[in-house]
Amino acid sequence: MAIKPEAQSKVSLERHGLTDEQLVAILRTMLMQRTLENRGFQLNRQGKIPFASASEGHEAVQAGAAMAFERGKDILVPYYRDLGLALGIGLTPYEVLLSLFARAADHSAGRQFPHHYASRRLGLHTISSIIAAQLPHAVGAAFALQYSGETGRAVLTTFGDGATSEGEWHESVNFAAVHTLPIVFLCENNEWAISTPLSKQMGQPDVFKRAEGYGLPGGVVDGMDPIACYAAVGAAMQRARSGGGPTLVEAKCYRFLSHTTDDDDRTYRSPDEVQARRKDDPVPCFERLLVERAVLNAEQVEALKRGVLEETNDATDRAEAMAYPDAADLYEKVYAEGWEPWTV
Ligand SMILES: Cc1ncc(C[n+]2csc(CCOP(=O)(O)OP(=O)(O)O)c2C)c(N)n1
Ligand SMILES: [Mg+2]
């Protein structure tokens, strides 16, 4: 297996089979995630949207994992911090902004929480804010694949370090191990669960050791290195698709911003602590790496950034111009059939 039970080295250009185009696509996803996330915070501060999530520091793990996801085959059951994963498997910035603006054209007609996307087209399961609630669903989807004899497909599900303290996490990991399910559990360990540090969550720092107790192989990967994350998640997905069973991949990353636009992290951690971790910021690190290794030159990086900003601006304007849902449609897209099913 490609992952080892200790953190891997810093960003290198061990390609793991990735072409230049794929490396640039990974960087573009990371830049888009950061730009869109920044847009969410700007729109919130302008009073145009009520809420946005923060995922700065998670770009590498998400863009790398998305590259290991096979579109049209695999199923993604993510959590609320997975903007980059959703973009990486094909969700458009416009769809993200429709969610943030809660417009009628949004997949849920503006009913879901902001940043809680879903797409049948992409195999993207809808997101729950309830910590760990997605995991029994993910395991159920993996069980369904196995039960119906669909080989060559797997489920990728994600969660934070805090989620591993929930009962659903333990039940899901155990069930997956018992039934040798085609699933990968990807933990985005950012050391915080809102204001609760990892040291107050667990008696030791490694989530993968919790899974080992249930018989799941796994290990740690440097969550600031997108190529290492691609390799680790890719190997685990391949194992799942070919009947080898579940794996837990723990990506060590860091949350640079407050939990959401509703949180102020200065109340529970020092700005100095956060600043010290910025040296590992995966976006400038990966950008630098691709320039140093001549995959891109400085002008090409600038053109990539310009393109990302233009697409974000265009998507913002188009989504903002869309209509709000009609109050009369309140119960649409809530139940599969009919209105007010409790009356029948
Ligand atoms: C069952 C449940 N309990 C509490 C919350 C409030 N809550 C929202 S996010 C969060 C922290 C989760 O931390 P973690 O799993 O590490 O993910 P992160 O947000 O750090 O990515 C909490 C406690 C919730 N949404 N659901
Ligand atoms: Mg966390």
According to the model, what pLDDT value does residue 343 have? 63
Reading phi first (left if > 0) and then psi (alpha if -120 to 50, else beta), residue 323 is in beta
Percent of the chain surpassing pLDDT 90: 89
The DSSP code sequence of 176-217 is HHHTT-SEEEEEEE-SEETTEEHHHH-SSS-HHHHHHTTT--
3-class SS of residue 282: helix
**How confident is the model over 309-331, as a mean pLDDT?**
94
According to the model, what pLDDT value does residue 282 have? 98
Residue 65 maps to which CATH number? 3.40.50.970
Q: Which ligand does the CA of 169 lie closest to?
A: 1
Percent of the chain surpassing pLDDT 70: 94
Segment holding 285, helix H or strand E? helix 282-292
Catalytic residues: 255, 259, 268
Q: Could you tell me if the CB of 223 is within 6 A of ligand 1?
A: no
Ligand 1 atom nearest residue 166's Cα: 1
Distance from the CA of 161 to the center of ligand 2, in angstroms? Answer: 5
Q: Could you tell me if the CB of 193 is within 6 A of ligand 1?
A: yes
Band of pLDDT at residue 214, cut at 50, 70 and 90: very high
Give me the domain span that covers residue 254: 20-343
Distance from the CA of 161 to the center of ligand 1, in angstroms? Answer: 9
Q: Could you tell me if the CB of 169 is within 6 A of ligand 1?
A: no
Tokens of 26: 């990974």
In a domain, 131, yes or no: yes
Enumerate residues with CB within 5 Å of ligand 2 (an ion). Answer: 160-162, 190, 192-193
Distance from the CA of 193 to the center of ligand 2, in angstroms? Answer: 4
154 compared with 330, residue with greater pLDDT: 154
**CA atoms of 344 and 331, how far apart (whole Å):** 15
According to the model, what pLDDT value does residue 201 have? 94
In a domain, 6, yes or no: no
- By mean pLDDT, which of 27-36, 88-97, 103-112 is the weakest? 103-112
Tokens of 294: 């001549």
Ligand 1 atom nearest residue 161's Cα: 16
pLDDT tens for each residue of 45-80:
999 999 999 999 999 999 999 999 999 999 999 999
In a domain, 1, yes or no: no
In a domain, 80, yes or no: yes
Distance from the CA of 180 to the center of ligand 1, in angstroms? Answer: 28
Averaged confidence pLDDT in the chain: 93
Structural domain count of the chain: 1
Q: Which ligand does the CA of 195 lie closest to?
A: 1
Q: Which residue has the tokens 């720092």?
A: 205
In a domain, 10, yes or no: no
Q: Which residue has the tokens 């009609």?
A: 326
In a domain, 197, yes or no: yes
* 1 pLDDT more than 60: no
Q: Could you tell me if the CB of 130 is within 6 A of ligand 1?
A: yes
Distance from the CA of 52 to the center of ligand 2, in angstroms? Answer: 17
| Residue nearest ligand 1's atom 12 by CA | 193
Indicate the top mutation candidate among 56, 131, 171, 260 to test ligand 1's pocket, ranked by most ligand atoms within 8 A of CB. Answer: 131
Q: Could you tell me if the CB of 228 is within 6 A of ligand 1?
A: no
Q: Is residue 236 a contact partner of residue 173, using CB atoms and an 8 Å limit?
A: no
Q: Could you tell me if the CB of 13 is within 6 A of ligand 1?
A: no
Q: Could you tell me if the CB of 118 is within 6 A of ligand 1?
A: no
Distance from the CA of 304 to the center of ligand 2, in angstroms? Answer: 30
In a domain, 167, yes or no: yes
Band of pLDDT at residue 341, cut at 50, 70 and 90: low
In a domain, 13, yes or no: no
Band of pLDDT at residue 335, cut at 50, 70 and 90: confident
Amino acid residing at 296: L
